[in-house]
Amino acid sequence: MNDAPIRALFPSLASHTAFLDNAGGSQIPGVVIEAITRYFHTSYAQLGGDYPQSKSAAQTIARGRAAIASFLNAPAPSNVVLGASTSQLCLMLAHCFGDALDAVRQNLPTAARSATLGLPARRQVIVSTAGHESNVGPWMRLAHRGFEVIPWPTEKCEDGQYRPRLETLKKLLSDRTLIVTVPQVSNILGEVWNVRAMADAAHAVGAKILVDGVAYAPHAAPDVQALDCDWYVYSTYKVFGPHMAAMFGKADAWGTLTGQNHFFIDPNEVPRKFETGGVCHEGCAGLAALLDFARGACAAAGGPVPSTDREALVSAFAALRERELRLQHSILTHLGSMPGIRLIGPGNGVGEHDRIGTVSFVSDWYEPKALASAANHDGIAIRWGHFYSRRLVEELGLNPERGVMRMSVLGYNTQAEVDRALLFIETFTGASEHGRSRGPGES
């Protein structure tokens, strides 16, 4: 496997650091860096003017939004709302639901629009506790605004793995359910869950669903139409882009809500009505460059470069995923066989496409902080903690103040980097000096 062509697309990878903290944020391709720099040189202006720089800035935002629409397979760019972070976008959406209930109760001018949600009778919110706090906390807070918030627990299943069970969701759903929130992948467990089945269950009772794709999107181009989700959110800085986030919403899903942007902006002006204060212009230049990166990655992988944007994105991420799978298998195999190391999440027993290369583990003999910190000082970028999934860590029976260690790979990583990290972990923990090897499924 020739690493050089792919790695050449990322200037920062020339560092000695083995960057295995990709679940926290990916490295940035050179074409994205160049696009952001070029924007500052040529188009740094406010919107709304008739002069060239202002028009160019508007076109930059449109290109960025269109690139995200292609990445998510959204029907149109107008389905995509951009924001500063996933936390901010989820909080914005939750506030919109809170405002909708207030409008109906107080008979405000937006009451007719809000009533299409079925409020006030339909005000039950089901929240998967397996998620990152960005898509848990905002919904939990709706309990203070008159909603019935029901936690959807992460349960130990027959195979010994923890996940939000579809059967449990179906028992929680009712004709009072307004929205369900769930991650497509846990940023700790790494397992890909069948969110299409969850969406079907929610829709069967007239509810909507928000899917958190933050941990999934770096590994494959999502398809929101195939998932049939009402909203889908992810962080662009975890997918070779700038520190922003994007939220897809069906046209009728946005249409039932009133956005929180300035009062004089038409309620039907989507996505602008949901982008309070506007979006990051230079960031949109970086988002648009995702298309250039995709075509570069296809070429670097030695394959043809598709003509359409969506095909290029799907092909590029598939090529990167193929490389990632080899590294993922290696990590799971070696960590799963180390004495004193316990995997948190499935090992190699699940289908390779039912898992991503985000691998969490704990040591019987060392605190996560001690091991991760020692690795960092040795130039190996792995992390420790609860990774903002504190509720999940507690459900797993772990101490959230200690959390887990996490190693996460993407397609630009190398076997040499992975081997270096695994050797460090084995040496640091003295794994070779302790007991028998433990299989991936043992606890």
pLDDT tens for each residue of 343-371: 999 998 766 569 999 999 999 989 999 99
Residue 441 pLDDT > 80, yes or no? Answer: no
Using pLDDT thresholds of 50, 70 and 90, give the confidence band for residue 440.
very low
Q: Which residues pair with 78 in a beta bridge?
A: none
Residue 438 pLDDT > 90, yes or no? Answer: no
Q: Interior CA angle at 285 toward 283 and 287, to 5°? A: 70
Report the distance separating Cα 282 and Cα 201, nearest Å. 40
pLDDT tens for each residue of 383-404: 999 999 999 999 999 999 999 9
Q: What is the pLDDT of residue 352?
A: 59
Q: What is the pLDDT of residue 435?
A: 43
Using pLDDT thresholds of 50, 70 and 90, give the confidence band for residue 99.
very high
Q: What is the pLDDT of residue 394?
A: 97
Look at the chain and count its residues: 443
Q: What is the pLDDT of residue 374?
A: 96
Report the distance separating Cα 149 and Cα 138, nearest Å. 11
Do the Cβ atoms of 232 and 213 come closer than 8 Å? yes
Residue 431 pLDDT > 60, yes or no? Answer: no
Span 265-294, average pLDDT: 96
Residue 434 pLDDT > 60, yes or no? Answer: no
Give the CB-side neighbour count of residue 11, counting CA atoms within 13 A: 7
Is cis: bond before 400, omega within 30 of 0? Answer: no
Largest CA distance in the chain: 73
Do the Cβ atoms of 392 and 303 come closer than 8 Å? no
Span 87-116, average pLDDT: 94
Span 112-138, average pLDDT: 95
Rounded mean pLDDT of the chain?
Answer: 94
Give the CB-side neighbour count of residue 3, counting CA atoms within 13 A: 15
Do the Cβ atoms of 230 and 63 come closer than 8 Å? no
Using pLDDT thresholds of 50, 70 and 90, give the confidence band for residue 115.
confident
More confident call, 439 vs 125: 125
Report the distance separating Cα 378 and Cα 427, nearest Å. 12
3-state secondary structure of 209: strand
Rg (Cα) of the chain, in Å, rounded? 22
Please, what sign has the CA dihedral across residues 267, 273, 277, 281? negative
Span 299-321, average pLDDT: 96
pLDDT tens for each residue of 67-88: 999 999 999 999 999 999 999 9
Whole-number percent of the chain with pLDDT over 70: 96
pLDDT tens for each residue of 19-77: 999 999 999 999 999 999 999 999 999 999 999 999 999 999 999 999 999 999 999 99
Q: Does the structural domain 4-29+315-429 have CATH classification 3.40.50.1820?
A: no
Q: What is the pLDDT of residue 429?
A: 86
| 79-258+265-276: CATH topology | Aspartate Aminotransferase; domain 2 (3.40.640)
Residue 443 pLDDT > 70, yes or no? Answer: no
Report the distance separating Cα 185 and Cα 267, nearest Å. 33
Q: Which two tokens stand for residue 55?
A: 């028009």
Domain residue limits, the chain: 4-29+315-429, 79-258+265-276
Report the distance separating Cα 108 and Cα 265, nearest Å. 17
Report the distance separating Cα 354 and Cα 323, nearest Å. 16
Number of H helices, E strands in the chain: 16, 15
Span 256-273, average pLDDT: 93
3-state helix, strand, coil in the chain (%, to 5): 45, 15, 40
Span 315-326, average pLDDT: 97
Query: pTM, whole model, 2 decimals?
Result: 0.95
DSSP letters for 273-330 = GGSTT---HHHHHHHHTHHHHHHHHHHHTTS---SSHHHHHHHHHHHHHHHHHHHHHH
Span 316-326, average pLDDT: 97
Report the distance separating Cα 28 and Cα 19, nearest Å. 12
Tell me whether residue 40 is exposed, middle or buried, using C-beta atoms within 10 angstroms of its C-beta: 0 to 12, 13 to 18, 19 or more.
Answer: exposed
Report the distance separating Cα 94 and Cα 91, nearest Å. 5
Whole-number percent of the chain with pLDDT over 90: 92
